[in-house]
Amino acid sequence: MIKALQKIIEDALRGDDESKEEDREHAVKVATAALLIEVARADFRENVVESEAVFRTLKSEFELTPEEAESLMRLAENEADSAVSLHGFTRLLNDELDESEKSRVVGMLWKISVADEHLHRYEDALVRKVAELLYVPHREMVRLRHSAVEEIKARS
C-alpha cells in the first residue's frame, strides 16, 4: 500500500505542476477513504449505514460523482485490505495536508464512527489513534467528536 501511494507521489514529482497536484489529490483521497473504511470496519460488523455514510462523505467532501465515489471506495477498500497498519495512510496525510485539512479528515472519521448512532469502543479508539498520528490536538479532536455526535442527534 505504501509503495503504491509513494509511487503516485514520486510520479507527481517528475510530472508537470498540474499533474503533480492531481496525483497529490488522488493519493490524499485514497488515503482518507481507506481510513474512513477502516473506521467503518472497526467494530467488526458489516454496517450498511456506515458504508453508505462513507459513500456520501466521499461524494460530498471531495465533490465526486456517484461513479467516482464508488470507484474511490473500491480502490480504498483494496488498499485497506492490503495495509498492515495505518501509518502509511497517516504518513501520507501528514506529508500532504495542513493542520485544518487534517482536522477535516478527523471530523470525517468521527461522522462515520457515529453514523449508526452508536460509537463502538474500537471505533472510538481508532479515530483517537488516527487523530494522534495526524497530530490533531486533543482539544480539537474532542470538539470534532462532539460536532459529529450533535449532527447525528439533529438528524434523528
Q: What is the pLDDT of residues 99-132, one digit of tens each?
A: 999 999 999 999 999 999 999 999 999 999 999 9
For residues 34 and 88, the answer to whether their CB atoms sit within 8 Å is no
Rounded-to-integer distance, Cα 145 and Cα 138, Å: 11
Query: What residues make up the domain containing 92?
Result: 2-155
Question: What pLDDT does residue 4 have?
Answer: 59
Give the number of domains in the chain: 1
Residues 52-110: tens digit of each pLDDT: 999 999 999 999 999 999 999 999 999 999 988 899 999 999 999 999 999 999 999 99
Question: What pLDDT does residue 18 have?
Answer: 62
Question: What pLDDT does residue 47 have?
Answer: 82
DSSP 98: -
Question: What pLDDT does residue 155 have?
Answer: 82
Residue 103 belongs to a domain with what CATH number? 1.10.3680.10
